Every structure is written in C-alpha cells, then in structure tokens.
Amino acid sequence: MGSKGDIIYYELLDSQVLYNLLKTFHDETGLIINMFDIHGSYHKFYFPDPRPYCEFVNSINLGKLACDSTEAKMCKEAASSKKTVLFLCPAGLVDIATPVFVQGIHIGNLFTGQFRATNYTENTFKIFLRNFSDKSRKELLKEYYYSTMVFTHKEIDAVKNSLNFIKNFISNYGENFIYDNKNDFKEMDIVSKAKKYIREQYQNSD
C-alpha cells in the first residue's frame, strides 16, 4: 500500500478535469505539460510532444544523464521550497516545475518547458555543444536547437502564472474532481473560469 500522497496522485491522474485544464495550457502555450510523482518518476504524460532537439539530446547517453539529473534536482528544489522553480537545462533550454499539494500533502510536481530564452539559453547550448567532436552531429544539434521556440520574459511569466494557477486549483478543488469522478464537477462554472484564466494569461503576454 502506498502513502496517502501516492494514492491521491494516482487518483488525480485519472481526472478528466485535470486533463482538460492541462490540455488548455498545452493548446495555448504549445508546451509540454507533465507530472512527476514525489519520487521523481513520470507516471502520466500529458501532451508530451517532445521537441526534436530534446529527443535527439536524450538519445545520447551524455545528454540523457544530464537531463535526468537536472529534472530530479528541479523537482526536489520545487518540493523543498514549495515554490515554482525555473531551471536552465544542461542542453540550453528552460524548464519549469511547481509542487502540487492536496490536503497539505505533497503529491507530485507539474513540469513544463523546453523552450529557448534568447542569449540566456544560447550560451549554455554553445557550452553543451563542445562535448561533441562529430561535425555532422553538431550541425544536427544546431538545426534542432535553433528551431525550438523562443519565449520572451513576459511569456515566461505568463507560463509561470498559469502553472501556479493550476497548482492552486488542484490544491483547492482536487478532492472534488477526484471523488466526484468526472461527472458533476467537470461541468461546474469554476472549471470554465479556470480555463478562461489560463487562456487569458498567455494571450495577454503577446
């Protein structure tokens, strides 16, 4: 039998309300949105649609080890600080994680990102590129990296605001949309308002 946090986490993953909120986030931002459990493992992927650059980096031993280590560190920091944290991955993209609490219990972390942020990320990418001597591989990495979308500071703030909103929504209403089992609660006006907030955050960042 798992901990109470684990039980809530697994129940939450089956919620249609959560699915709808995260789909709204993905549709508006174009970003992946995933959840880690408190042990740092993926148990559900929401619209993963990984960037070609990230797929390529993760196909390389060095890249996968660096990314896994960064994600674990990021989730640990988010949990201990109880705040949304922004990290620069070793391959030069931005990731964001925020801890999720239900009934005061830390049940997991929402995770999004994998975008560029102008020179801030490009310098890290150039350092990462030095690990590769093969010219064709370097050129492919460059092609994939520079095709990854760039977010402005205002857009990054909108993403963080939306992520915090979803986290707080789960904290306040999580029990309802777990135990009402996707029926009455998903039709409530509060859900429509939540989706509207997420849309407006990103649309107002243009």
Q: What confidence tens digit (pLDDT) does each residue in 28-63 have? A: 888 988 888 777 676 666 777 667 888 888 888 888
d(CA 88, CA 94): 5
pLDDT band at 94 (very low <50, low <70, confident <90, very high): very high
pTM for this entry: 0.83
Here the tokens at position 97 are 């994680």
- Going by C-alpha positions, the residue among 68, 97, 72, 102 that lies closest to residue 83 is 97
d(CA 78, CA 76): 5
Q: Please check whether residue 150 is in contact with residue 115, taking contact to mean a CB–CB distance below 8 angstroms.
A: yes
pLDDT band at 1 (very low <50, low <70, confident <90, very high): very low
